[in-house]
Amino acid sequence: MTTIHHRTGKPGTGTSTQDPAAAEAVFLDASLRLLEPLDVAQGDVVVDVGPGAGSATVALAQAVGDQGRVYAVDLDPAMLDATLDAAQAAGVADRIRPVLHDLEDGTPSLPEAADAVWSSWCVHHARDWDAAVRALSGMLRPGGVLCLAEGGLPTRCLPWDVGTGRPGLEVRLDEAHGRYFTQWFFGRAAVVRPTRGWTEILAAAGLVDVTASTALVDFPAPLSERVRTVVLAELAARVRRAGPFLAEDDTAAWKRLLDPDDDAWLGRRTDLALLSARTAFRGRSPRAGRG
């Protein structure tokens, strides 16, 4: 069911130690580069599905200007509240329409078609990726553009050998986290196995001129305090989720590396980095009477 969301209080804290706003600030430059293919102009109607802490929503609201509108769509009222907080701080809250909706229920019932739809790191949680992309494309006017940020390359933050545990610790964390996600994904009812890439999924949804672009995220060592805090929080979250799939010696190593009271704590190192790549897939709704 789609409803216009009205604020009921401050966002909840959830269970993660990661600060979504801090993490989005670190990745903001990459997100802005991935937003460019949307070609958002003054007066446009834009939809942001899964706005998180609202950094991309604010950027889109600034791009559409006083005459434009941005619909922020999320199933979590706390995330919509966080988005409105960010919008109010940036002075663009009057351009944003929060909408409470679960993408699993199909296309939101918005009062107008969109010139552009953006969704970042959201659709891979859906039970049926093809159905979710069809729901996103269903919000577009003829000629409108969908941009879907999904995938890229694994993040690298640590040296190959950190001196604690076996070398290659971060690579094994990636493998364990992949097993965690696979178990979580297929552990739900009515899941449809995705057997093709995002470009084919967008094309199957009826979009044309499908392309992909990638933005590099590169913070070399030594990291600033701001970026180091985000890196440590993200590593802790990944270790927590992947815990059941880690070997005992890796679990012990991560416990030391993430403990501020341990001599091996990663926060004391000057060789932490943040290197990753994020990819967005773009497609256009066919114009009336032609492709």
Chain segment 133-157, per-residue pLDDT in tens: 999 999 999 999 999 999 899 999 9
Sheet strand arrangement including 69-74: 3-4, 96-100, 69-74, 45-49, 114-120, 140-156, 274-284, 208-219
Q: Which pLDDT value is given to residue 213?
A: 96
- Give me the residues paired with residue 114 across strands: 140
**3-state DSSP assignment of residue 106:** coil
Please give the structure tokens belonging to residue 246: 């880690």
Q: Determine, yes or no, domain membership for 7.
A: yes
Q: Determine, yes or no, domain membership for 21.
A: yes
Below-50 pLDDT ranges, the chain:
1-17, 291
Q: Containing domain of residue 274, as a range?
A: 3-284
Q: Determine, yes or no, domain membership for 205.
A: yes
Could you tell me the sign of the dihedral formed by the alpha carbons of 237, 239, 243, 245, in that order?
Answer: positive
Burial of 32 (0-12, 13-18, 19+ CB in 10 A): middle
Q: Determine, yes or no, domain membership for 291.
A: no
What are the tens digits of pLDDT across the range 232-250? Answer: 999 999 999 999 999 999 9
101-105: long-range pairs with CB below 8 Å, 24+: 101/1, 101/2, 101/3, 101/73, 101/74, 101/75, 102/75, 103/49, 103/50, 103/73, 103/75, 103/132, 103/135, 103/136, 104/132, 105/1, 105/2
What is the Cβ-side half-sphere exposure of residue 89, based on CA atoms within 13 angstroms? 13
Q: Which pLDDT value is given to residue 289?
A: 58
- Show Cβ contacts of residue 151 under 8 Å, excluding neighbours closer than 6 positions: 198, 278, 279
Please tell me the total count of domains within the chain: 1
pTM over 0.85: yes
Residue 207 near residue 242 (C-beta atoms within 8 A) = no
Q: What is the CATH number of the domain that holds 72?
A: 3.40.50.150
Nearest CA to 257 out of 163, 177, 186, 194 is that of 163
Q: Determine, yes or no, domain membership for 289.
A: no
Q: Determine, yes or no, domain membership for 143.
A: yes
Q: Determine, yes or no, domain membership for 258.
A: yes
Q: Which pLDDT value is given to residue 18?
A: 67
